[in-house]
Structure 1
Amino acid sequence: MLPLLLASSSPYRRELLQRLHLPFTWASPDIDEARQGDETAAELVRRLARLKAQALAEHHPQHLIIGSDQVAVLGERILGKPHSAERACEQLLAASGQSVTFLTGLALLNSATGHCQVDCIPFTVTLRELDRQRVERYVQTEQPLDCAGSFKAEGLGVSLFQSTHGSDATSLIGLPLIRLVDMLLKEGVQVP
């Protein structure tokens, strides 16, 4: 089996990948994550996942490289990482009582052959009706400033949910393990 390399510095993605009990290393790719033209959210995350994997291929020529990227979509608006408490509060209040779809792009690149599998996995969350005081308490407690849509599903963020819908709950955290296992199997990797 070729060694696995996670093209991400995200501690959330590393924690998820550890669930598969496969040895892996990780490295942070340096790519431009800006949206291009009229690119849809799904096109954006697929492209960025692929680019993240490809960015590490030259220095890791005999690896299976996993790239992933995620955005949250509210209506037609893409919600990225808020980076500030005020922006996080704005995002959550805008999503109050509404459904937010998380799109997670996933790529698995065999850098030895150049074969690259790419997909986009959706997961939808409907939020409870939220007031400013609750949102501010949540943001202060959880500090979801590096999370698309401003909440951590693996933590207290679940208290903001009214319901969820999707085929792979791990995609909500940023690395869809069910789809990744499918990709790994196609590359001959047997997951314990």
Structure 2
Amino acid sequence: MTVKTIPPIILASSSPRRKELLNSLGLAYHIHPSQAEETFDPRNSPEMVVQKLAHQKASDVARHYEQGLVIGADTIVVLNGEVLGKPKDESEAFQMLSRLQGETHTVYSGLAVIDADSGKECVGCQGTKVLMRPMGADEIKAYIATGEPMDKAGSYAIQGLGATLVDKIEGDYFTVVGMPVALLARFLHQFGINVLTVARQS
């Protein structure tokens, strides 16, 4: 039986959590972090913003290749219509977490897969609601002191110590981590890659 050759897969991100998610699917890939400037129109909907950012990253990397599937992803945290990005410093992290505590916010993860050869692309996103438990100032400062919040949208990581801050979620956990895995599998299937078959062969 002839085994179909899988095209090269390029992850346009150096995010450890996204690497772990791709590893969990048994996919062979290499990393080429995007250098695209992450700009967006704040008047656009969160869904449009996060899809545009993911597409910017994938497009920036795809132009360097003649073949291969480039995966771009981006995650934003939205509270009462306001996008909360990565904190600039500990003071901003404290402000974000103080606003999020006791409240429900939405995490959106955008995903783009671009075929560098044909230019075919799939772009989409998913959103998940997250309820963060009430916290006092001392607890927030203790979490910030771990260093975990400093490179995370919304100043927390649900896959790390930030899990202790979350009461419940409504939606896809992996969207909060930073890459909606089921959506990625659907996109890859459109390029002829069945992740279940790949897992069985590995």
Matched, 1:124 2:113: no
> For residues 174 and 106 of structure 1, what CA distance do their matches in structure 2 show?
9
User: Corresponding residue for 1:85?
Assistant: 90
Offset, 1:35: 2.0
Which of 112, 115, 118 is the aligned partner of 1:107? 112
User: Corresponding residue for 1:174?
Assistant: 178
When the two structures are superposed, what TM-score results if normalisation uses the length of structure 1?
0.96
Matched, 1:146 2:151: yes
Matched, 1:49 2:50: no
Secondary structure of 1:162's partner?
strand
Offset, 1:57: 1.4
| Identity of matched residues, % | 33
Q: 1:176 corresponds to which letter in structure 2? A: P
Checking the alignment, whether the CA contact within 8 Å between 2:39 and 2:53 is kept in structure 1 is: no
Q: Deviations over 1:106-154 (max 9, x none)?
A: 0111111111101111011101111110100111124211101111111
Taking a change above 3 Å as real, the CA distance of residues 10 and 111 of structure 1, as seen in their structure-2 partners, is same
User: Corresponding residue for 2:20?
Assistant: 15
Question: Paired residues, what number?
Answer: 191
Which of 34, 37, 46 is the aligned partner of 2:39? 34
> For residues 56 and 148 of structure 2, what CA distance do their matches in structure 1 show?
28
User: Corresponding residue for 1:64?
Assistant: 69
Q: 2:178 corresponds to which letter in structure 1? A: G
Structure 1 residue runs without a partner (length 5+): none
Matched, 1:160 2:169: no
Offset, 1:160: 0.7
Q: 1:183 corresponds to which letter in structure 2? A: F
User: Corresponding residue for 1:95?
Assistant: 100
Which of 2, 7, 12 is the aligned partner of 2:7? 2
Offset, 1:83: 3.0
Q: 1:175 corresponds to which letter in structure 2? A: M
When the two structures are superposed, what TM-score results if normalisation uses the length of structure 2?
0.91
Deviation >3 Å, runs of 4+: none
User: Corresponding residue for 1:186?
Assistant: 190
Q: 1:103 corresponds to which letter in structure 2? A: Y
Secondary structure of 1:144's partner?
helix
Q: 1:177 corresponds to which letter in structure 2? A: V
Secondary structure of 2:151's partner?
coil
> For residues 10 and 147 of structure 1, what CA distance do their matches in structure 2 show?
10
> For residues 63 and 147 of structure 2, what CA distance do their matches in structure 1 show?
37
Larger Rg: 2
RMSD of aligned residue pairs (Cα, Å) = 1.1
> For residues 105 and 42 of structure 2, what CA distance do their matches in structure 1 show?
23
Structure 2 residue runs without a partner (length 5+): 1-5
Q: Deviations over 1:20-65 (max 9, x none)?
A: 1110001111112122252222111101111111111121120111
